[in-house]
Every structure is written in C-alpha cells, then in structure tokens.
Amino acid sequence: MNESNVVEYRYEQVAAKITQLIHHGTLRPGERIPSVRRISRQEKVSVSTALQAYFLLEDRGLIEARPQSGFYVRLQSRRLPAEPRIIFPPQAATRVGIGDLVSNILKAGRNPGIVPLGMAASSPDLFPTAKLHRVLASVARREGIEVNRYDLAPGYPELRHQIARRSLDWGCSLSGDDIVVTAGCTDALNLCLRAVAGPGDVIAVESPTYFVLLMILEALQMKAIEIPTYPRDGVCLDELEAALDRRKVKACLFMPNFHNPMGSCIPDEKKKRLVDILAQREIPLIEDDIYGDVYFGAARPKVAKAFDRKGLVLLCSSFSKTLAPGHRVGWTAPGRFREQVERLKNISTAGNALLPQIMIAEFLKSGGYDHHLRNTRKGYAQQMQRISQAIARYFPEGTKVTRPAGGIVLWVELPNSVNSLDLYQRALERNISVAPGPAFSASQGYRNFIRVNCGVRWCDRIEEALIVLGRLVTELASQRPA
Amino acid sequence: MNESNVVEYRYEQVAAKITQLIHHGTLRPGERIPSVRRISRQEKVSVSTALQAYFLLEDRGLIEARPQSGFYVRLQSRRLPAEPRIIFPPQAATRVGIGDLVSNILKAGRNPGIVPLGMAASSPDLFPTAKLHRVLASVARREGIEVNRYDLAPGYPELRHQIARRSLDWGCSLSGDDIVVTAGCTDALNLCLRAVAGPGDVIAVESPTYFVLLMILEALQMKAIEIPTYPRDGVCLDELEAALDRRKVKACLFMPNFHNPMGSCIPDEKKKRLVDILAQREIPLIEDDIYGDVYFGAARPKVAKAFDRKGLVLLCSSFSKTLAPGHRVGWTAPGRFREQVERLKNISTAGNALLPQIMIAEFLKSGGYDHHLRNTRKGYAQQMQRISQAIARYFPEGTKVTRPAGGIVLWVELPNSVNSLDLYQRALERNISVAPGPAFSASQGYRNFIRVNCGVRWCDRIEEALIVLGRLVTELASQRPA
C-alpha cells in the first residue's frame, strides 16, 4: 500500500507541474508538450510514471494525443466521457448460447481486410519476434533431436522455474513444481475448469465477462451465474456472497487484474477478501491473469493467488498478450488440483510442444522479457489512450468509456437507444469489427455496449474506423430516441 | 485389390527364392543372408517388399535378426509364438476408471532411467529433426513478425492443402477446406468426440483399445462399450451390429489401421462395410489413423473415410509418429461436423501455433516427408521384428504375440496364470516400463496381456530388458499354475 501511495504522489506531482506550465501559458493551446521520454528524464521518473501523468492530464481534458505525433495542449479542454455504470444481470444460472455471434467475431479477426477492433489481439510489431526467433533457432541447433519428442505435463522444468521466479512480482512465492505448462491461457482455463467442475455445475463469472469464457462453459455444459462488476475495482463481493448463499456454486472464474472487457483491477485488500470468502466455503477460484503483466502504472498488481492459503486458487496466464501469441505457451499454478490438471493436459493434447517452451525459458532467463515488457506496456497504454480520446471526440453525447489501468480493451457504453448488435452489423458492412455487448453475457445483456480492442497500433486506418463508428452510433442513436 | 495381390506375389516370390537357397544349402544355418538393400537391388523390388519377404521368412522360423548385424539363417528354426485370441469383453457400457494406472505409465515414459517399452513413443533419431529445424529457422527468418500472431481454426491454409493432397494416397480426395489443424492427434480426437457426443453418451470402442482414448471418455463423462476385435482384421462387425441393436450408441471411436495395441488393420472391403453399417444408422465414426503412414507392406492402407458418403467419418491423425512428436501438429477431416470442431478448437487452445504448421507444410511440399517416411517405416519394421524375435526367444511357452503389418506396438498374451499388473510392478522395480493389459479396457480385462512399445531403436539395453521381462514372466507363470 505504501509503495502505491508514493507512486501516485510522483505522477500527480509531474501532472501538477505540467498543469502549471499550461496555466501560466508556458505551454500554449495547440502546442506540442515535451515527450514522455523527455519528461521522464527531466523529472527523474520512470517512463510509465510520466505516462500516467499524461493520462491524468488527458483525463482532465488538458492535453490530447495526436496520431504519430505526440501530446498537445488542447485547444478547448474536453473531458473524457463518463465511465459506464455497474449493471445487475439476472440472478439465475444461465445456459450460455452466444456461440454463433462469437464465432463471427473471431472469423472477422482472421480477415486482414477488416479493421480489427473486435478480437482482443495485438499488432505483431509489439513483440520482440526477431529476438525470440534467434533464440528459437539457436535452441533448435543446440538441442537437436532431443526437442523432437513428446513432452508431457507438467512441462519443461526450466520454463516452470522461470515462471515461478517471476511469481515474486505478483506477491506469490511459487516453485517450478507448482506450475503446469499449457497451450496458452485458454488451454489452462479449460483444464482448470474441468479439474474442479463437471457438466451441470454452476460457475460464477463477472458480468460482463470475456465471451470465450462463456463459450467454454457452454461447451462443457456448465452454467454461468453472473456477478455484477464495477468498472474500476472489479467484482462486487456483496453480490458474490449473496449469490453463494442462494445456490451451490462449484467454482468462480474471474479476471481480477485488468478484466476483459471492463479493465477493472481488484485492489489488493479486496483480492484478499475475495479469496477469504471463497476459502471459507471451500470454493475454488480460477484466476485468469492474462493481462496482469500489461499494467500502465508503476507496479504490477498482485494476483489473488498471493492470498491463497488453501491451494484453492488456480492461477492461469500466458505469454500471448506480451510476447508470443503465435507460439501458444501458457501455464497454470493449479494449487491442490495439480494432479487432475496434469492428467487432463496429457489426455487433451499429449503435452506441449517443447521447442517454444525452451525458447521462452531462455528469453526469460536472459532478462529479455522484462526489458521488452516495458516497451509493450507503453505501446498498449498509448494505443488505449489514443483510442479513448478518439471515442471522446467522434462518438455522440451520452457515450461512456472505461479508464483501465492496464490490459488492451475498452468497454464503451453507447447511448441507451443504440443496439450494439445493429452497430456490429453495420460496422462489419464497412469492414470494421467491434465486439457487441451481448457477447459478454450469458443472459445477453449489455445491449448498448461494445468492447473496443486497443491492441492495435494507432494509425490513420484506426482513426478513420473510429470516425465511421462514431457516425454509425450517432445515426443509430437518432433513429430511436431514448 | 489387384495391387495388393501383385504385391503379395512379389514378396512371396522373393521369400520363396531365399527359402530355396536355404533348403539347397547355398545359405547355411548360422550364415548371414544378403542385406535387405542388396536383395532389393538384386530382385528389383522395393526395400519394403524385400523386408516383407524377410518378415515372412522370419515368421516361418527360417531366418532371424541379430542386433546391429543383420539377418541370419536360424540354427534351429523356431516359429514365432502363436497370435493372441479374440476376447469378448462384457456387453455393458462401462464408466472408465483407469486414470491412475495410465498416469503412472505416462510418468515412467518421462523418466530417462526407465527402459521405455510402456508408452508408445519413438526414438528421436527416427525423425529428420535436423532437416526440419533448418526449415523452421528459415521460415522464422522469412516470415518474421507475421508468424507471431494468433492462428485460429481451421489453421494454416498451405498445411491443410498439403494434407489434403496426401489424402489421395489413402483413397480420399479431400480439399484443404475439409481439414482442421489441431495440436496433435489426441487434440483432434478430443475435439471430434466433443463435437458429436456429450456427457452420459455411449461410445463404441474396440477391445482392447488405446488407454488414452478410454481416459478421454472418462474425462468427458462418456461411457465406453467395448466391441471384440480380431488381432488381424480388426473390429468384429457382427458384434458391433449386435451392440448397436442393443443400445443407443452415439459414436464409434476406432483405429482401423494398425490398431493400438492390437496392430490389426481392417481390410478395405470390411472398412466399407463398417462405414455402411454406421451410415445406415447415422452414427458418426471417429477414425484414429495416427499409424496409417507406418505401414510395413508395399502400399498404404486406405482409411475408412475413403468410403464416407455422408460426412459421418471424422478422420484424425498427426505427424507425431512419423515426423515431429515434439511440435504437436495434427489434424482432422471432421466431415459434416467441421463447424463444431473449429469452434471447439478455438475455445480450447485459441487455435494452433503457426510456425510449426508452416514448417511441416514446407517439409511436405518439398517431398522431404515421403523420402523420410520410407526410412522411418523401415526402422519401425526392423525394431518390431527384433522385439518379436526376442519375445519368442526369452518369454516362456504359452506366450502369444501379434503380427502387425504396421504401427509401433506389439500386443502380447502371457501364459494365463500371469497377472500383468504384477509383471508391470516388478518390471518397474527393475526400471523397465511395459503397459499392462487392464489399461486397455474400460472393464479392466486383459489381465494376462501386455503392450510392448517397438518405437525404440533396438540396442543391448532393449534386449537386456526383454531378457529380464521374460524371466519375470517365467517366474510369475510358475508361481500360480494355470
């Protein structure tokens, strides 16, 4: 808690200084302000702290980002739209049925002719692929035939060790033996769900939640109960407890850090309370931390697993948002369910490919990952900030947008009269993909919400797409007045 | 049919010629006979035809293989033990429960200190790994950041095209659009099962059958009904029809070519009948063809899919037995269930790693695969033949062994009084892993059977292990007379 206070102080201090410069006229409306890097050097703060300061200024409507150019003092200051409200989904456990919609969103993601604001995917140039592939080639030469064999669960020991070492950053002290390597985070989540629950069981999820989680539940014939979730600090614990009192919940499947699509991050104290509530009832928590490393602030948030005393938290993540989506390497620390997860892993895919495991282990070991992470985080933060600004500029009155402190997506509440499925269809006709709200809910709520992917590099094509989207939203809003 | 008659004629002709040389005393007991390669040149037949001839001679007890040396005229001719009999498992649908046993077999496979006759895995030096990895490095360089992205189902188009081209060899004419790439054959089988059936459904399997198939059914809460299977020509169709009459079977999960563990290969005519029987009842057939390319004869057997007119056959295979177990690349041609399989693929592992798909596509395209397959097939055939001979030599009277014409495993019936679980335990104490019969049956029959992996290169260590196994079997047989 201390550290995060200090950090807030620093970036607020930097922001205050720049605010003064603007108010005093040293920096005038329309003028370019010093680059993040320069401010970072000048004020002796990290780049991400400087960036935080700029976000704050932008949030306050004092500065704005311009494509491929930098930050400028606003001609007329305008605030970002308000944040979306919390929504209370139906309390019943629901059979999920969003398959067709999601399949179409994913298909659009494969089509290079479509502007990819739908699927939560990243521009490939955010990753240090050339470096990674040099490691790959050298490992392949060095290891020779030894890597061309089955590698069953739990996976390559050095990779598990390297992941465990990193767990100190998240408030854990895992050992390599706690880790099972998987084919990405999605694989990990599937295995963990299957390890703790079966067909017909009820799983608590946040509302809204990532549509692939809902589809996994659908495919496993599990039911979802949706817990209201705050845009800033995540799942509502009172509502969760009430739901646990009402019915038998077999497990929770939450994204405490930089939730998809909300961007919310549960504060540490609340994470601890969440874990305690579940521990009392012996309910497993499957924790999807895939965006945990994509933090925009100064410190990485802890994981809920950090407060796990009973082996009930199954932590899942991967390198797909930060390093290598094309290599399908993820992992889980499944606590007391390790044996079941390993067994399921072996009979699902006969273990993992070995070469990419060694490649990533070496990359982690060399320190390359931390270096690279700083750049990637900055890239994501800038992209998200530019897209937020564009939404503020081009979308009509009544639009609301989240303020994530990490992750790669924005959750946008449109004027109440806009049906996001209509918007989704019309946008697709114009070769723009967005993810409509109903995909994020088993009960198909969030009719007037969309999720916008910010994993893509800002460029004219993105800005033009947001202009078109804004126009479509305006049209739809005026057709049926609220 | 014509072609296979001609082939038989050729290798029988070669065998007859050598038999004459032995009977006339040109080749004398204990003498080395000409190498397979030399006979192949001399008689203008392919290496595999020559090898077939040698197998026939060996089967007839006229010649024998010696480690790292070649084939010799037997001092006293001894035939291979008889083939195992067909077993009739209970007719009830059974909940599977072999998880612990199989987990232990798989764990033993990971331990390099244990002689690996348990898991069906290959010596890494059977694969052209250096060549493959050169392709990998060149693809990684050429494609750059483009390969470091999500690649959702159905997978890399050129790989699907190359697989489809090969389908002509199996009697199919698939197009790339029929194929979905998976993380190995195990992944394909899981996806196909989940596409056609759900928890509580009854799936017909061969008896005995590959234990991982049983564990997959167990994990998916499906039930297995075991259909008696002949050691030579596969599943008994009369029994299958009777089972289908008796109860609702949701799908069949069979290995028509080089069945694991039986080695049986369903003749083409019978494959057609199998497909027709199921088509009449609209029952899907999941066809595991992972060993289809590992044929010892002159021609690759057709797949059951070749006779599929209704899109009811879901053909599954991979490159794990012939090229690259370490890279987890497999595929399925799921007929009319393609959409469901793709959807399940995307929500299970978020697609496949892209680089190994491109690597294998290029390897196939270059013709490297066919060239290499010839060597691998020969290697497997020789290993199996040597292990058969060693079993004939070192195991006690009453032992029976299969005569597979492909694949990498032998199915061994021990004297009736031997409990293979005891053998399994005692062998493991001596650092030898075998797979005990009860692992191959939901009803845990096959008490006196073991499966022996022949994927490993023949060497002194293997021979010594077989000597120890033979001694253990002899001990166990004498302890409790039949």
ipTM for the predicted complex comes to: 0.84
A103 touches chain B (CB under 8 A): yes
CB within 8 Å: B327 and A148? yes
Who wins on pLDDT, A72 or B360?
B360
Where do the domains of chain A lie, and which CATH numbers do they carry? 2-73 (1.10.10.10), 99-125+371-479 (3.90.1150.10), 130-369 (3.40.640.10)
Residue B396 in contact with residue B477, Cβ under 8 Å? yes
B169 touches chain A (CB under 8 A): no
B101 touches chain A (CB under 8 A): no
Q: Is the pLDDT of residue B28 over 80?
A: no
- Option in B146, B194, B347 nearest A212 (CB): B347
Per-residue confidence (pLDDT) for residue A30, from 0 to 100: 79
Per-residue confidence (pLDDT) for residue A480, from 0 to 100: 55
A151 touches chain B (CB under 8 A): yes
- Confidence label for B102 from pLDDT (cuts 50, 70 and 90): confident
The pTM assigned to this predicted structure is: 0.85
Q: Measured between beta carbons, which residues in chain A are less than 8 angstroms from residue B344? A: 219
Q: Which residue of B has its CA nearest to A135?
A: B137
CB within 8 Å: B132 and A148? yes
Per-residue confidence (pLDDT) for residue A356, from 0 to 100: 97
B197 touches chain A (CB under 8 A): no
Q: Measured between beta carbons, which residues in chain B are less than 8 angstroms from residue A186? A: 347-350
- Option in B132, B324, B347 nearest A215 (CB): B347
- Which of these ranges, A292-296, A429-433, B100-104, B375-379, has the smallest mean pLDDT? B100-104
> Which residue ranges of chain A lie beneath pLDDT 70?
1-9, 24-25, 75-79, 94-97, 480-482
Q: Measured between beta carbons, which residues in chain A are less than 8 angstroms from residue B212? A: 346-347, 350
Distance between B346 CA and the closest CA of chain A, angstroms: 9
CA atoms within 13 A of residue A204's CA, in its CB half-sphere: 28
Sorted by sequence, the CB contacts under 8 Å of residue A2 that are 6+ apart come out as: none
CB within 8 Å: A356 and B354? no
Per-residue confidence (pLDDT) for residue A335, from 0 to 100: 98
Per-residue confidence (pLDDT) for residue A108, from 0 to 100: 82
Q: Is the pLDDT of residue B79 over 70?
A: no
B216 touches chain A (CB under 8 A): yes
